[in-house]
Structure 1
Amino acid sequence: MGLLNLSCLGLGYVVLRNWIGAALCWAATVALLVLALPADVDGVPAGLLIGYGVFLLLAAADGARRGLRATLSLGASFRRLALPLAVVLLAVPAGGSLAYGAARDEAKEQALLERLSAADAQVKSADGLAFDKAEPILAKALDAYEDLGTNKAGSRAGKLVPARLDAYYESVSAPYKNKTYCEAIAPLKHLRGLGGTFDKDLLGARPAKTDEPLAHSLYECGTSALGVYTATPAAEESFNELFDTFPKSSHTARVEPAVRAAIKTRTAALDSGTTPCDTTNELRTLRRSLLAVSDAALDGATREAKEAVQRGDFACGTDQFKDKDYDNAAKTMTEYAKEYPDSPQAAHARSIAIAAEIADEEPAAGKSLPPATVPGGSRMIMVVSNDGPGEVELLYTGPMTGKVTLKTCATCTKYPGPILSQGKKIKACTGPSSKYPKATLLLPAGDYHFLQKRVSTGTSTAGDTKSSKAKIEPGYSYTNCLYVTSGF
């Protein structure tokens, strides 16, 4: 009877017709099944199993005690089968235990597969995000992959991790396949660097396979940023990383020819293009990038870029003059002469700056660029005198362009304006010749435009200007008296 009670069904009590005992066994077994099924990862609490086991032992002992004392009207055949039947029925709890163990193992496998699916979903959710925002999400997925692939390697989920890592590398490197090379750099660096943080045996050769795509992306990103002021990252950033990380890569060897081609293309555009100033700005940005590249392989290209920028500055100033943007032309050419004082074009740049300043006041002076060289032949004398307060600068352009500065006339004052002079002709520079500061110009024959600029004094205003023009003919000498009139 004790063995029959160990079947978990209380059969010993049934034979003894102790229905209360049988009901207790049934209730305990049903309660255990309700709590244990369906099987989950955590299984049945140990305390419950111990309690149920103690209950079965007590039921078995009680059944054995009652069976020894009871007088049963059972046939001989049943008596002979009772013991074997009890032993056979012991397989019920044993089989149930094995089945429950198998169900629990399956629950564990399913839980691991769900964890793998959750990691897959995290990788998918990061698709399309900027990498700085995607990286924390991807890190969680990698933690799950690593744990499943190492600590749970024998599970069904663990065996799927290598394939998931292949899919991870393919997903994260998608920008490279889409040829968005600048966008691909950060993800590829991440994939390449996993060897230092992720299980190396699990990763295998995957990180090394990113070397070629990363080097290619750095090259493409760097060349596309050449001459682009707003490029992010700047060309020098990509090139420096390429030279430092992959010095022997075929893509590294492509940088120098690509840079020279970019310089050549823009240099040619200075002559044939319609926007030399924009082209010069691109060249200036390109030069800045090359100066920031640490590798000596680009030293020759850097010199070419410097020469191209110098050529571009002159072309830009010339174009501004032709477009009648005289103010900017004057600034550009003045800066050119300061920055490149040894250039053969420095003198011409100063002439264009002077002509532009005059043309800004007298547009007729900007009909054509001042000549690059001074014409030969005879020169005519022009004596310029300052009959006014304040130092004065006289700019002139024509066959010859230049400027001269005359000191202030200490005893000179302003002449009356049209109202106070009542129409009388102004007789300037009629005093003793020694009274007036003078300068002598030697001018080739031709039409000239003049602009006088007077500095501030107590009786004149800084920036006071007056334009005039004159025709210089061969065989004559000329005088030019500079004076100031009041507003009245």
Structure 2
Amino acid sequence: MAVALLNLTGLGLGFVLLRRWIPAVACWLVTGILLVIALPATPDGLPVGVTVLYTALLVLAAVLGAVWGLRRPLMWPPRGPVAFGLAVVLLVVPLGAAVFYSNAREEAYQQMLLKRLTAADTAITAAEAEPIATAEPEYVTNLAAYQDLLDHHGTSRAAKLVPQRLKVFYQVVSTPYTQGDYCNAIEPLKFLRSLPAKAISASDLGPLVSFPDDPLATSLFQCGTHALGSNGDPAAAQNLNDLMTTFPNSAQAGKVEPAVAAAITSAAGGLTGSDPCTATTQITSLGTQISALSSSVTAISYGLKKDVGTVNSDVEAGTYGCAVSKYKGGDFAGAQTAMDTFVSTYPNDPNKALAQKYSIAAQIAQQDADAGKVTPTLTSGGSVSITIFNDSPDAVQLLYTGPATGTINIAACSSCKVYNSTEDAQQNACGDSGTDYPKASFTLPPGTTYLLQKSTNTNVTDYTHSDQYDAGSVYQLCAYEKNPLGGL
């Protein structure tokens, strides 16, 4: 029995005490081979086949030792009980070795998991230098490694480090927000909100699940309101709508309408400044942005609709103010186009009638710049009486500005001709008593009036002139056409 137990130690000591050196050496070789295979310890441990084979060899050595021990006395100790006691004590060696190997294997297992954690940490740290669009795939892949540690190795040292790693990760990814870079913080914060569906379960994230909510709402608000009026940047409406859709009842969503109203007030202030055209462009862009906003919250939606009405009214006023500014700045062609556009776009605006006067004056000023020094008014009538006779085969339109601004249309003279020279015209125009020349009469206040005569015949050039008209006087003018240039 003592020999059998000593052989179970794996050291062949039973064979040594029986002086059976060949089987003893065989035991040493087998145990040495086992140590070579087993050490250093790996997380997977020994192959099952090796364990089974080694155990079988130990049992065989024990059986052989027991059989041989029945027929051969021990070399030492002389008494059997002492040898048995020694054998029991020496069994501590294989048992201790098994415990040591188990601990070594566990440590190897822990180190393997820690290496996985370190590899994921390293990859995540490297990705942090990249834009979020580039870094996101790396983040998802390596955060999945964190999740695997939590799911399948939850009691490991590596898994216990994951919560702190996640906390640091959230803080690093949200760095643009903490630095006040709100526009660049939006996509990283959106990514953090999406993690429960992509990589880390909500239960494992714990409080981190809601960590990005308030920063994201703030970033959407700050970035969106900053872009209001900025050349119609669509990011303004996009971010503010995102805010009001994702966080409809948040404090940030409640600030959107007041911010929009303030932006309108600020932009509208430029309409009466030195550059109303630029201000009108800005508030028009702002109106486009505001018109694209919507909210499911009744109070916010009502406020935004009111703001749309306000900004549209400001755009209307700004369009008129810009056209006036063009006229006063000498851009008469631009003023005419702007005034005509204003009249067609806003037919019910109170300034429509005056805008039409400005359009008339701008047409005259394009031919005679001095006419542009006159600021048109709604004044009509006066003590000066003027009659225009048309001695031309085409209808004539007379535009005038000065103390009063307006237009007169005179029908064509069907029996009239085109004169061959200025001298011929000056001698004979409107001089045939037998011809009933079409005519039109109107009155003006006294002063210098600038006139532009236009023919309905597009081949006839316009004619401009100005005259000083005295109070209480009556004037008659004659319109005619002459060759070869077709001057009216």
In the superposition, the TM-score normalised over structure 2's length comes to 0.84
Question: Which amino acid letter does the alignment assign opposite residue 386 of structure 2?
Answer: I
* C-alpha displacement of 1:227: 0.9
Deviates more, 1:209-218 or 1:307-316: 209-218
User: In structure 2, what is the Cα distance between the partners aligned to 1:275 and 1:394?
Assistant: 33
Aligned to 1:39: 41
What secondary structure does 1:153 align onto? coil
Does the aligned pair in 1 maintain the 2:247–2:253 contact within 8 Å? yes
Does the aligned pair in 1 maintain the 2:9–2:93 contact within 8 Å? yes
Aligned to 2:403: 399
Q: 1:477 aligns with which of 471, 475, 478?
A: 475
Q: 1:204 aligns with which of 190, 203, 206?
A: 206
Identity, % of aligned positions: 38
Does the aligned pair in 2 maintain the 1:119–1:144 contact within 8 Å? yes
5 Å-filtered alignment, 1:137-152, equals 137-152=138-153
User: In structure 2, what is the Cα distance between the partners aligned to 1:122 and 1:454?
Assistant: 80
What secondary structure does 1:358 align onto? helix
Report the count of equivalent residues. Answer: 474
Does the aligned pair in 1 maintain the 2:381–2:443 contact within 8 Å? no
What secondary structure does 2:379 align onto? coil
Q: Label 1:356 to 1:196 Cα distance change in 2 as closer, same or farther (>3 A).
A: same
Question: Which amino acid letter does the alignment assign opposite residue 344 of structure 1?
Answer: P
User: In structure 2, what is the Cα distance between the partners aligned to 1:245 and 1:169?
Assistant: 20
Aligned to 2:31: 29
* C-alpha displacement of 1:178: 1.5
5 Å-filtered alignment, 1:189-338, equals 189-194=190-195, 198-234=200-236, 236-272=237-273, 274-294=274-294, 295-338=301-344
What secondary structure does 1:233 align onto? helix
Unaligned runs of 5+ in 1: none
User: In structure 2, what is the Cα distance between the partners aligned to 1:81 and 1:414?
Assistant: 152
Which whole-Å deviations, capped at 9, do the CAs of 1:34-62 have from their partners, x for residues lacking one?
33222222222222222332333333334
Aligned to 1:182: 183
Q: Label 1:403 to 1:128 Cα distance change in 2 as closer, same or farther (>3 A).
A: farther
What secondary structure does 2:468 align onto? strand
Question: Which amino acid letter does the alignment assign opposite residue 113 of structure 2?
Answer: L
Question: Which amino acid letter does the alignment assign opposite residue 275 of structure 2?
Answer: T
Aligned to 2:376: 371
Aligned to 2:388: 383
User: In structure 1, what is the Cα distance between the partners aligned to 2:438 and 2:44?
Assistant: 108
Does the aligned pair in 1 maintain the 2:287–2:312 contact within 8 Å? yes
User: In structure 1, what is the Cα distance between the partners aligned to 2:77 and 2:240?
Assistant: 99
User: In structure 2, what is the Cα distance between the partners aligned to 1:111 and 1:384?
Assistant: 108
Unaligned runs of 5+ in 2: 295-300
* C-alpha displacement of 1:134: 3.1
User: In structure 2, what is the Cα distance between the partners aligned to 1:122 and 1:466?
Assistant: 81
What secondary structure does 2:235 align onto? coil
5 Å-filtered alignment, 1:146-185, equals 146-185=147-186
Question: Which amino acid letter does the alignment assign opposite residue 271 of structure 1?
Answer: T
User: In structure 2, what is the Cα distance between the partners aligned to 1:46 and 1:455?
Assistant: 109
Does the aligned pair in 1 maintain the 2:230–2:285 contact within 8 Å? yes
Q: Label 1:267 to 1:145 Cα distance change in 2 as closer, same or farther (>3 A).
A: same
Question: Which amino acid letter does the alignment assign opposite residue 259 of structure 1?
Answer: V
User: In structure 2, what is the Cα distance between the partners aligned to 1:384 and 1:84?
Assistant: 148
Q: 1:9 aligns with which of 8, 11, 21?
A: 11
User: In structure 2, what is the Cα distance between the partners aligned to 1:119 and 1:19?
Assistant: 54
In the superposition, the TM-score normalised over structure 1's length comes to 0.84
Deviates more, 1:40-49 or 1:78-87: 78-87
User: In structure 1, what is the Cα distance between the partners aligned to 2:22 and 2:418?
Assistant: 135
* C-alpha displacement of 1:283: 0.9
User: In structure 1, what is the Cα distance between the partners aligned to 2:77 and 2:206?
Assistant: 72
Question: Which amino acid letter does the alignment assign opposite residue 312 of structure 1?
Answer: G
User: In structure 1, what is the Cα distance between the partners aligned to 2:76 and 2:120?
Assistant: 65
What secondary structure does 2:85 align onto? helix
* C-alpha displacement of 1:262: 1.7
User: In structure 2, what is the Cα distance between the partners aligned to 1:479 and 1:41?
Assistant: 114
What secondary structure does 2:467 align onto? strand
Does the aligned pair in 2 maintain the 1:398–1:448 contact within 8 Å? yes
* C-alpha displacement of 1:383: 0.9
* C-alpha displacement of 1:75: 4.1
* C-alpha displacement of 1:387: 1.9
Q: 2:347 aligns with which of 341, 348, 353?
A: 341
Question: Which amino acid letter does the alignment assign opposite residue 285 of structure 2?
Answer: T
What secondary structure does 2:348 align onto? coil
What secondary structure does 1:477 align onto? strand
User: In structure 2, what is the Cα distance between the partners aligned to 1:28 and 1:387?
Assistant: 131
Deviates more, 1:111-120 or 1:436-445: 436-445
What secondary structure does 1:183 align onto? helix
User: In structure 2, what is the Cα distance between the partners aligned to 1:410 and 1:114?
Assistant: 104
* C-alpha displacement of 1:339: 1.5
User: What RMSD in Å do the two structures reach over aligned CA positions?
Assistant: 3.3
What secondary structure does 2:35 align onto? helix
Deviates more, 1:303-312 or 1:407-416: 407-416
Deviates more, 1:113-122 or 1:186-195: 186-195
* C-alpha displacement of 1:315: 1.8
User: In structure 2, what is the Cα distance between the partners aligned to 1:15 and 1:413?
Assistant: 151
